[in-house]
Structure 1
Amino acid sequence: MKKIDLTTLLIPIVYFIAGASSLAGVATTFFYKDELELTLEQLGILSSVAIIPWSIKPVYGIFSDRVPLRGLRRKPYLILSGFLGSLGYLSLATWVEGFWGVLVAELISALGFALADVIVDGVVAERSKTHAAAGKLQSICRAAIMTGALIVAYSSGVLTESIGARRVFLLTATLPLCTSLIAIFLKELPVGITAWNWKQTWSNFKRALTPAILWSALFLFIWRSTPTSGGAFSYYLIDELHFDPEFFGRLAVISRFMGIAGVLIFRKWLIAIPLKRLLFTIVIASIVLSLPTLGLVYGWYNILGVSPKLFAMADTLITAPLSEIGFLPLLVLVARICPKGIEATVFAVLASIMNIGLAISDMGGAALVHLFDVHQATETLAANYTNLDKVLWIAILSSVLPLPLLPFLPDTRAEEEKREQGIPSGIEAGITGSTIA
């Protein structure tokens, strides 16, 4: 009888916990808006700062690989990541009373989750004896993330309404601690400190900077840097359309479920389309399919004779799959251009570039709402969403900015990637999209 590897069984549980931590999603929106009364500009800054720990993931990988603690490279760091993630949410549940407190809590929490992501990915790589095994295990792990997020989606709204945001944060704080507990049972053999040849690594990296990689890096950066509406649209839904936490939970369920549908659509029908053509189509589709979002601002639901909530559910049903479909080709592009020998290093750098772009996107959204004087009600000012449509139009139309760079990208299909390497591609293996790489 084949012996069960406990470590391999526990890894997907860590990913499930990461997905389930989105339990605090709805609570965060209402806590920041109603209790702390954070401005839209402050929300943009917070979103950008929270991405910083995700943008320096290669640093965690270097420390984990080269600086073992008591001879262990993974277990101590994974235990630490759980405590950091929990501390961030515990801070929100207890002492945080304003913007700077939230900033500290967000940084601590993001650091914990980013560190856990790097460490567990390292464990997965070590446990995967073949490329096929890597694809299978990665598929299970990504499915675990999406399952965890889907299960808690509706609860996030209901609990916020019934027990309050701070208690939801307290409940969420227990989840990362489960990661620390699981880490105790991971099996890992002690290792010595490995020498690191920085000069050789830098030399190899410089040789890898081909025009294809540089153009692709610029494309990825601009794609992710286009501004968003920030939290302005969510604030509008609460203030003007009177959406409550429970309904936000319903929207979260639809979004998570349709996100999974987006992955399946990509695997079934879009994976064979040449990359440049697919990216162009996604940009055009994103503009067209964003129109229902504008419809909520323009009141198109009145023309159709339906409620704003029904219109919002239809909007989420349409746009949620596209968010996943729009991210997956970027993973294909990154995987395609990584040179052999230093794939992990180049992939990590490109992922960091994408995350930095995402931080700039949030800052751009904050700048837009400030420029057009979009804000929620305060003690001295009435709410002003008059120019929210302009913010949304700029955010939507800015999607075309990376298109001039398409001719400079390497043309490939995910299917070609799979045939060339003889392994399941990241998409075929079930790697799913995320706002953070």
Structure 2
Amino acid sequence: MMDTNSFQPDNAASLDDKTRGLINRRSVLGDAYRLFYRTPVHLVRGQGQYLWDADGTQYLDVYNNVASLGHCHPAVVAAVHDQMQALNTHTRYLHERILDYSDAILATMPEQIDRVMYMCTGSEANDLAIRIARAHTGGTGLIVTREAYHGTSALTSGASPALGGAQPVDATTWLVPAPDAYRVDEPDTGAWFAARIQACIDDMASKGVKFAGFLADSIFSSDGVLPGKPGFLQAALQTVHSNGGVFIADEVQPGFARTGESFWGFGRHGLVPDIVTTGKPMGNGMPVSGLMAKASVLASFSASTPYFNTFGGNPVSIAAAQAVLNVIHDENLLEHSRNVGQRLLSELRALQSRHSCIGDVRGAGLFIGLELVTNRQTKEPARALALDLIEALRNAHVLTSVAGPYGNILKLRPPLAFQNHDIDWLVGALDQCLSHLNA
């Protein structure tokens, strides 16, 4: 994932002096960092769904869900500014704001989920979720999908095969194939997927590893954006529970009205997870994340382990999170995501009829995958075309990236500020770029 659509030093000679100078200065950050695009973009400003570079060129952002509402949303800016002028400290002092927000966020959850803890990043939330699952079950074995991404801590990077490179999968992590209805020729994807989870659990047992839990993002974004039919994950939940495991819903990407069909991605499937995790979209990019759980699942960890995250849940970050929640409700962004997403899906499917290289278009709300193939019958992935298309779109001032095991799926995930009129820009650019690349 990290090296797909990334700048390569071999391209430096073709860049202008200013861009090349900035890239050279980035050496101070170390060699592990990556840049997007063969010609990196130098951004200086954002507003809503738009970004501007140093030359004043406007771009359409169709990738950044961290700024979930949109870049520099005025309600978030004002909330952070006001709270910063009053107090910013940690959670070992009493403060009303964190309690008010906790009541508000738990009100969006199934009633069985009645506890919440705070961190600064999604990686920290998933790290803690794994620890809680292990404390609750007494097991260590974790199951994730083959292209999952759940974070960058020691625990979560070991459960994030999408990181690739030299990052090893942890010995206690088992990988299950993703429920890809486009490529899995089965009448019941849910039953097929649950059977693969059971096979992993059985393999763990044969090797003396006790099952702790299953960790998944309900739209399988890094696996290629696989929304599936609503409800298909019910069988997976039942399999996890029947084997004594914990179901962890990673809502960093599909949560907060993103899928349009429910406030939480898992809600599309009528699930009641044991643990739910969120990340920085919770605060429109501010360093805040959360872990919501059933009290019964949290009990074993809480009884034995004091937990303290120095500035996780600080008043300024919680002010941003509360502003996000308020805007989603006040601006009816769940319905907006559903309606605009449905129109975007329709327009992309019309585009599919004009370009044979588009093998599949799928999604929920403003979270859409567009899969490119060299042949619709064989479904051979068109990775090279996808990477060329990403670059062509960048030159057409549309920013997005790719996902999936073959790197051939465009991941279209704009801020929720994305409007109907932006569809014309996006689909028009896709049409023009594909026509040029396939000429």
TM normalised by structure 1 equals 0.28
Higher strand share: 2
TM normalised by structure 2 equals 0.28
Taking CA–CA contacts closer than 8 Å with sequence separation of 6 or more, which of the two structures ends up with the larger relative contact order? 1
